[in-house]
């Protein structure tokens, strides 16, 4: 078994994977498809009873994920939004959430269109300034929801300072950080004070754009008991096959993230110098207003790069050849999209305008192709969009 003092890839490859846990000692964890498990006597089982409440393949992945996060308890769900749904079900009717205003469009839609029906209100604030978070807190506030870096504008929130300030006002407020854009390889929100880390595993953690899944990880035993209950009671669980796929992908997470960082930063630097580019957002560019914070709270950045284009964005996106025009991110293949009418179309127009999610804002998920080919592709598409 890997321990948390071991390196990242050692944990990714060994945590939860011990062959001795299986009678046949398979080195690669088996995909256990059985939906039910034999009991020795009524209600007496050997760790697993019914596939929704627990599954051996799922357990392997949950153990590995929590080891990577320096966390105690990991739970996986059938999508990232499924994980978010379960976490917000920790709250009661009339409770209140303060959320960063620049978050994934689907999370925004879930907050505004679904949670509101359960009488849970969400106040959206510019969380880059901690004062705004604190001003949003009222006596009913039970949760603060943060993305850092944010989707799609790649703004940062000082997770440690924000959490400390929030807990000073009310220590029972649950601080949730969506760490999808960086993964546990580059940022560990639990170690910065967050109570729960949430993931769309669909993105970098799986990294091959072939699985939709989510996760929640916590060190808090009480929250873990509640999340484990909800995982079973709400039934938003993934298939054993999908768990095996993500578990396999984690073995190369370190390698993939290093290459995403390298390619993404090279592209950000290329775009920053280009005459047809108005502004580039990448936390590891010294021009990023929170560059110092990026260095302080993370050890790198993924392949996410956003920029404002001076040319025709439709023409630009249609001219790309290697970058595929598609939603999502975090796979080995490069993607490009227009958040205003794609991933963030469900954010109310007024909020989009205020945030700067305009029709000139392009979001890239830089993949693992050869750097020069990616730059050449962007270069030809920029020429074509003048
Ligand atoms: O798609 P799903 O696995 O349900 O994850 C939702 C989600 C949660 N959090 C963040 C930060 C996300 O980016 C997402 C999904 N995002 C996209 C599909 C996208 O293109 O931005």
8-250 and 253-384 share one fold = no
Q: Report whether pLDDT(29) > 60.
A: yes
Structure tokens at 15: 């945590």
Atom of ligand 1 nearest to the CA of 81: 4
In this prediction, residue 5 has a pLDDT band, given cuts at 50, 70 and 90, of: confident
CA distance 232 to 207: 26
| Mean pLDDT, rounded, for 287-298 | 98
Structure tokens at 279: 């502004």
What confidence score (pLDDT) does residue 3 get? 59
Q: Which of 80, 85, 109, 334 to mutate to test the pocket of ligand 1 (most atoms within 8 A of CB)?
A: 80
Strands of the sheet with 121-125, listed across from one edge: 73-77, 214-218, 196-200, 174-178, 141-147, 96-100, 121-125
Q: Does the annotation mark 256 as catalytic?
A: no
What are φ and ψ of residue 174, in 5° steps? -85, 120
- The answer to whether the beta carbons of residues 86 and 238 sit under 8 Å apart is no
The packing angle between helices 253-272 and 371-384, to 10°, is 40
Atom 18 (ligand 1) nearest CA: 328
Using a pLDDT cut of 70, give the percent of the chain over it. 99
What confidence score (pLDDT) does residue 378 get? 98
CA distance 216 to 13: 20
Secondary structure class of 307 (helix, strand, coil): strand
Q: Which of 3-12, 169-178, 271-280, 282-291 comes out lowest in average pLDDT?
A: 3-12
CA distance 309 to 274: 10
Q: Which of 77, 106, 198, 238 to mutate to test the pocket of ligand 1 (most atoms within 8 A of CB)?
A: 106
What confidence score (pLDDT) does residue 263 get? 99
Using a pLDDT cut of 90, give the percent of the chain over it. 98
Atom of ligand 1 nearest to the CA of 329: 20
Residues 6+ apart with CB under 8 A from 192: 159, 160, 163, 177, 297
Residues 6+ apart with CB under 8 A from 348: 112
Decide: 214 in ligand 1 pocket, CB within 6 A.
yes
pLDDT for 174-233, tens place per residue? 999 999 999 999 999 999 999 999 999 999 999 999 999 999 999 999 999 999 999 999
Q: Does the annotation mark 377 as catalytic?
A: no
Structure tokens at 313: 């964005």
Active site residue: 11, 59, 104, 185, which one?
104
The domain segmentation of the chain, as residue ranges, is: 8-250, 253-384
Q: Which of 81, 200, 338 to mutate to test the pocket of ligand 1 (most atoms within 8 A of CB)?
A: 200
Q: Report whether pLDDT(4) > 90.
A: no
Q: Report whether pLDDT(384) > 80.
A: yes
Q: Does the annotation mark 131 as catalytic?
A: no
- The answer to whether the beta carbons of residues 253 and 207 sit under 8 Å apart is yes
The CATH class for the domain spanning 8-250 reads alpha beta
| Mean pLDDT, rounded, for 244-261 | 98
What confidence score (pLDDT) does residue 2 get? 54
In this prediction, residue 1 has a pLDDT band, given cuts at 50, 70 and 90, of: very low
Active site residue: 58, 142, 203, 363, which one?
203
Decide: 104 in ligand 1 pocket, CB within 6 A.
yes
In CATH terms, 253-384 corresponds, of 3.90.1150.10, 1.20.1740.10, 3.90.420.10, 3.40.50.300, to 3.90.1150.10
| Mean pLDDT, rounded, for 137-143 | 98
């Amino acid at each position: 078994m890997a321990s948390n003092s071991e390196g990242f890839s050692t944990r990714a490859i060994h945590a939860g994977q011990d062959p001795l846990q299986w009678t046949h000692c398979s080195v690669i964890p088996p995909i256990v498809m059985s939906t039910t498990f034999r009991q020795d006597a009524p209600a007496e089982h050997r760790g697993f009873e019914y596939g929704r409440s627990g599954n051996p393949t799922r357990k392997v992945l949950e153990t590995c994920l929590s080891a990577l996060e320096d966390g105690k308890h990991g739970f996986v769900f059938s999508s990232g939004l499924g994980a978010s749904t379960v976490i917000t079900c920790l709250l009661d009717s009339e409770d209140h959430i303060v959320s960063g205003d620049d978050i994934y469009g689907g999370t925004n839609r879930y907050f505004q269109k679904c949670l509101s029906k359960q009488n849970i209100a969400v106040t959206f604030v510019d969380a880059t300034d901690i004062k705004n978070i604190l001003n949003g807190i009222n006596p009913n506030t039970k949760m603060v929801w943060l993305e850092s870096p944010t989707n799609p504008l790649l703004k940062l929130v000082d997770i440690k300072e924000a959490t400390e300030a929030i807990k000073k006002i009310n220590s029972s407020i649950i601080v949730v950080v969506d760490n999808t854009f960086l993964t546990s390889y580059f940022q560990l929100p639990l170690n910065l004070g967050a109570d729960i880390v949430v993931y769309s595993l669909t993105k970098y953690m799986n990294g091959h754009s072939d699985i939709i899944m989510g996760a929640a990880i916590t060190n808090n035993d009480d929250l873990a008991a509640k999340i484990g209950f909800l995982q079973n009671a709400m039934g938003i669980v993934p298939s054993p096959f999908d768990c095996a796929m993500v578990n396999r992908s984690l073995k190369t997470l370190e390698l993939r993230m290093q290459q995403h960082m390298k390619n993404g930063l090279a592209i950000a630097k290329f775009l920053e110098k280009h005459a047809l580019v108005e502004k580039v957002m990448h936390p590891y560019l010294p021009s990023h207003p929170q560059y110092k914070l990026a260095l302080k709270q993370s050890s790198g950045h993924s392949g996410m790069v956003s920029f404002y284009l001076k040319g025709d964005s439709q023409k630009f996106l249609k001219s790309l050849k290697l970058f595929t025009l598609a939603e999502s991110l975090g796979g080995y293949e490069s993607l490009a999209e227009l958040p205003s009418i794609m991933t963030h179309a469900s954010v109310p127009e007024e909020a989009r305008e205020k945030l700067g999610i305009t029709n000139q804002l392009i979001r890239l998920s830089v993949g693992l192709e050869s750097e020069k080919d990616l730059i050449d592709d962007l270069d030809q598409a920029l020429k074509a969009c003048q």
